[in-house]
Amino acid sequence: MTIYFLGGGNMARAIIAGLRAQSPDDAIFVANRSAEKNARLQQDFHVATDFRLPETLSPQDVLILAVKPQDMKAALQNVRHGGALILSLAAGLAVDTLANWLGTHRIVRVMPNTPCAVGLGVSGLFAAEGMSASDCAIAEKIMAACGVTIWLNDEKMMNAITAISGSGSAYVFYLMNALQKAAAGLGFADETARTLALNTFRGAVALAEQSGEDFFILQQQVTSKGGTTFAALTKFEECGVADGLTEGVHAAATRSAELAQILKD
């Protein structure tokens, strides 16, 4: 299987890293305008970037669309897909829209996130109507190399998974940054504050995964009424931290739907 990327930005790089970790010898080609990014991709992952995409593809190939949604239509103007399986990473671009631009319905929409770069990503997938089981299996294999895959039965749920996992790593980094700043504010050196924040999150995730307990139960196991954790959680409730997070996720989902409508129009 030969995999072609149209675009070589951060998300393409993350997926290439995941693929290379699983299958170091797979043929991967990247069509990208940035000479600097091309050089880094070649150096880090030994991919080819010196080829002309429109003259290359066949039905046995996979084309991964990794350019920005607002630039996609222009980027596809001269692309002849040759019947290749298409995986689109473009948020908000519906399968029907892509099908009209490309002249094929052999399309799987994918919403990955940047932890794909370390094999711990989450990718939501939605297949165009009538897609074969074998094509879905290929898409599954590619994205499973980068982490967990979630298949969606309704394309509208792409907005929801964009808001949860697609943007979700940024929410985690936001909280990690806040905890690091809090540690620094309590007198820890910057590097120590970073270590405390990073390993607190790492340990909590590992414990949650290993125990299989409900997150709320795990929270209660750390919290004694009147104790230090209780004091912190009480302040979080007073500040509306959980409500703010929920509202933020809904805002992300709403914005995803708005961008989809803009791109459709």
Asked if 66 and 6 count as a contact pair (C-beta separation under 8 A), the reply is: yes
The pLDDT value recorded for residue 231 is: 97
Q: List residues forming the annotated binding site.
A: 6-11, 66-69
Distance CA 157, CA 258 (A): 14
Give the residue from 43, 60, 57, 55 showing the smallest Cα distance to 8: 43
With H, G, I as helix, E, B as strand and everything else as coil, classify residue 97: helix
Give mean pLDDT in consecutive 10-residue pieces for the chain, a chain of 265 residues: 90 91 87 87 88 81 94 89 94 91 95 92 94 96 95 95 96 98 98 98 97 97 96 97 97 91 82
What is the model's pLDDT at position 146?
92
- What's the whole-model pTM score? 0.90
Which DSSP state fits 128?
Answer: P
Q: Is residue 26 exposed (0-12), middle (13-18) or buried (19+ Cβ within 10 Å)? A: middle
C-alpha 138: how far from its chain's center? Answer: 18
With contact defined as beta carbons under 8 Å apart, do 22 and 45 qualify?
no
114: Cα within 13 Å, side-chain hemisphere: 9
Domains of the chain and any CATH numbers: 2-157 (3.40.50.720), 168-259 (1.10.3730.10)
The pLDDT, as a whole number, for residue 158 is: 95
pLDDT at 254: 94
Amino acid at 198: L
Question: CA-CA distance, 183 to 167, in Å (whole number)?
Answer: 25
Other Cβ atoms less than 10 A from the Cβ of 173: the count is 12
In 3D space, the residue among 184, 207, 208 whose CA is nearest the CA of residue 196 turns out to be 184
Q: Which residues are annotated as a binding site for NADP(+)?
A: 6-11, 66-69
pLDDT of res. 32: 86
